[in-house]
Amino acid sequence: MSSNDYTPPGLADETTPPVRRRHIFYIPGYDPEGRTRYRMLFVRELTRYAKRFDEPKRSITRATLSADGLVQSWSVAAQPEIGGAETSYDVLLWDDLVARDFARPRLVSVALLVAGTLQSIVTGLMLRFYRLNWKYGNVILYPLMMVLLLSLGTAAIVAFVHAHLGDGYGLGWPAWLTVPLGLAFGLGWIKAIEALLNRVFFWQLLNDWVFNWQHGQGWRPDYDGRLDRFADHVLARLAAFAADGVALDEVMILGHSSGALTAVETTARVIARDAALGTGPLTLGLVTLGSGLPLVAMQPRAHRLRAEIASLVVARRLVWVDYQAPQDWMNFPGFNPVRHLDLDLAGRPPANPLVRSARFREIISPETYRRVRNRPFRMHFQFLMSNDLRGAYDFFAMTLGPQRLRERVLRPLPGPETCSRSTPPVADRPPGGAPPPPA
C-alpha cells in the first residue's frame, strides 16, 4: 500500500454480489474536443486491453447524441466468459463551454491569466499548490512564464523596428509611427507561431487555469447551470431505468482531471435531491481520476464547493474513490480533502474518500515507462488507458468488471502478474495522432 493511500476509519469491508448491469456517467475534463476524444480513446484502449490480456473482444454499440447535444451514450456488452458486467455509458458534455472560452479574445484571456495567477501568488495559494505537488505548481505557472517570454520577444521586435526606422537610424520615422508598426510585427510573430503554441499546450493550460480561477471566484454561472442540468439528467436517467424495469446493480459517476471536479459537484447535487439513492441494493460510486480538485477547493471564496465536498465525505450511501499518481504532473498525490481542506463535518465521522495510488510504475511496462515518463500529458491520460501489466488499478476492470467499486478497491480480483509479451504495446498516441491535451 502506498504511503498516500487512505481508507476512512471504520469503513465496512463487505462482500457484495457481483455486478450484472452497471451504468456509468463519465465526465471529461477541460477539453474543447470532449465529445470526440473520449469515445475514440475508449474504443482504442479497450481493443488494446483485450489483445494484451487475451480476453474476448467486447461488442460496443454506436454512440448516440441527445437532442440537446449534452449527452453521448453507448453500451458495452457483457463478457460472460470472465463475468464482465453489461455496462452502459452516458458521457456528460461541457466542451461547448470550453470552446467558448477558447473563442474569447486572446488579450482578454491573457489579462485574466495574469490577474488570477498574481492573486494566487499574493494570497499564498500558489505556495499551497507547490507544497502539494511542485510539478503541478510549475504547470500552473507555465502559461504566465510563456506570456512573459512572448511579451519580451514582442518588446524586442518593437525596439528593433524603432531603432532601425526611428530618428536615430535609417528613415527617421517618428515614434508614434515606429512603435505601433513594431507592435504589429510583434503580434504578427505570435500569430505566426500559433501552431507551435498549440503543440506545447499554451492556450489549453492558460484557459484551463483561468476557468479554475473564475470558478473558485464564483464567476462561472454558465458552468454552474450545466452542473444542474447534469444532475437533472442523472436523476432522469435512473428514473427511466426504473420505469423500464431495468435492474441496475451499480451506478458510477466518473470524472478525469478537471472532470473529476465536475463529477464531485454533480454527485453532491444528485444525492442532495434523492435521499434514497444508494440506500438499497443499487450501489452508488464516485470515481475521481488524476483530480485537480485543490485548484478550486482551496480558493477562499469556494464555500459552496467545500460544503459539497463535506456532504460527500460523510455520505455512507456513497463510495468515493480518488485515484492519484505521483508520476502524473497534473494531479495532487497525497491530497486528502479530510486532511487538507477546512471542511465542516458537523461532528460526523468521514466515510469518504478512499484514496489510492494508481501506481503507474507497476502497471506500465518498463519500455513504455521510459518512453512516456517525460511526457506529462501522455502520463496524465494513463488513468483512462489500458494497463501493460495487471495491477490493483485497472480502468477497464473497474468499469466493466464484475466487482463493485468498494470491493474492487479493497479486495481486487487477482490476475496474471505480467502481460503477454507476444502482444507489444500499441503506439502511445491518443486519438487523432496528437498528444491528448491536459484537461
What pLDDT digit, counting tens, does each position of 264-294 carry? Answer: 999 999 999 999 999 999 999 999 999 999 9
Please write the tens of the pLDDT for every residue from 68-96.
Answer: 999 999 999 998 888 889 999 999 999 99
The verdict on residue 93 lying in a domain is yes
The verdict on residue 350 lying in a domain is yes
Is the pLDDT at 220 greater than 80? The verdict is yes
Whole-number Å distance between alpha carbons of 416 and 393: 14
Give the end of a domain, one of 182, 209, 236: 209
Domain check: are 277 and 158 in the same one? Answer: no
Give the end of a domain, one of 209, 241, 259: 209
* Model pLDDT, residue 424: 43
* Model pLDDT, residue 425: 46
Domain check: are 282 and 326 in the same one? Answer: yes
Is the pLDDT at 438 greater than 80? The verdict is no
Q: What average pLDDT score do residues 40-63 get?
A: 95
Residue with cell 507592435: 183
* Model pLDDT, residue 426: 44
Q: Which amino acid is at 276?
A: A
The verdict on residue 368 lying in a domain is yes
pLDDT-derived band at 321 (thresholds 50, 70, 90) equals very high
* Model pLDDT, residue 93: 98
* Model pLDDT, residue 12: 66
* C-beta of residue 212 within 8 angstroms of C-beta of residue 258: yes
* C-beta of residue 255 within 8 angstroms of C-beta of residue 262: yes
Give the end of a domain, one of 154, 177, 209: 209
Is the pLDDT at 339 greater than 60? The verdict is yes
Domain check: are 297 and 428 in the same one? Answer: yes
- Residue 6 DSSP one-character state: B
Would strands 86-92 and 21-27 be described as parallel, antiparallel, or unpaired?
parallel
The verdict on residue 377 lying in a domain is yes
* Model pLDDT, residue 414: 65
| DSSP assignment string, 237-275 | HHHHHHHTT---SEEEEEEETHHHHHHHHHHHHHHHH-T
Entry pTM: 0.91
Query: How much of the chain, in percent, has pLDDT values that exceed 70?
Result: 92
Q: Number of folded domains in the chain? A: 2
Domain check: are 156 and 245 in the same one? Answer: no
Residue with cell 465542516: 344
Instruction: Tell which residue, 397, 426, 422, has the closest CA to residue 412.
Output: 397
Domain check: are 82 and 138 in the same one? Answer: no
Domain check: are 276 and 399 in the same one? Answer: yes
* Model pLDDT, residue 353: 97
Residues 6+ apart with CB under 8 A from 295: 129, 140, 209, 212, 216, 261
Q: What average pLDDT score do residues 26-41 get?
A: 94
SS3 call for 286:
strand
Domain check: are 124 and 170 in the same one? Answer: yes
The verdict on residue 244 lying in a domain is yes
Domain check: are 275 and 197 in the same one? Answer: no
The verdict on residue 8 lying in a domain is no
The verdict on residue 166 lying in a domain is yes
Is the pLDDT at 55 greater than 50? The verdict is yes
Sheet arrangement for strand 318-324 = 64-65, 71-76, 86-92, 21-27, 250-256, 283-289, 318-324, 354-357
Domain check: are 61 and 139 in the same one? Answer: no
* C-beta of residue 263 within 8 angstroms of C-beta of residue 255: yes
Instruction: Tell which residue, 372, 412, 436, 402, has the closest CA to residue 87.
Output: 402
Domain check: are 65 and 199 in the same one? Answer: no
The verdict on residue 214 lying in a domain is no
Q: What average pLDDT score do residues 95-101 get?
A: 97
Q: Which residues span the domain enclosing 188?
A: 118-209
Domain check: are 164 and 73 in the same one? Answer: no
- Residue 79 DSSP one-character state: B
Please write the tens of the pLDDT for every residue from 156-196.
Answer: 888 887 777 776 555 677 777 777 877 888 788 888 888 99
Q: Which of 36-45, 147-156, 182-191, 355-364 has the lowest mean pLDDT?
A: 182-191
Is the pLDDT at 435 greater than 60? The verdict is no
Instruction: Tell which residue, 184, 205, 83, 81, has the closest CA to residue 138.
Output: 205
> Which grid cell is 9?
476509519
Please write the tens of the pLDDT for every residue from 225-267.
Answer: 999 999 999 999 999 999 999 999 999 999 999 999 999 999 9
> Which grid cell is 352?
469518504
- Residue 15 DSSP one-character state: -
Whole-number Å distance between alpha carbons of 156 and 144: 18
Whole-number Å distance between alpha carbons of 114 and 367: 40
* Torsion 30-44-86-410 (CA) sign: negative
Domain check: are 312 and 355 in the same one? Answer: yes
Q: Which amino acid is at 245?
A: G
pLDDT-derived band at 387 (thresholds 50, 70, 90) equals very high
Whole-number Å distance between alpha carbons of 207 and 108: 11
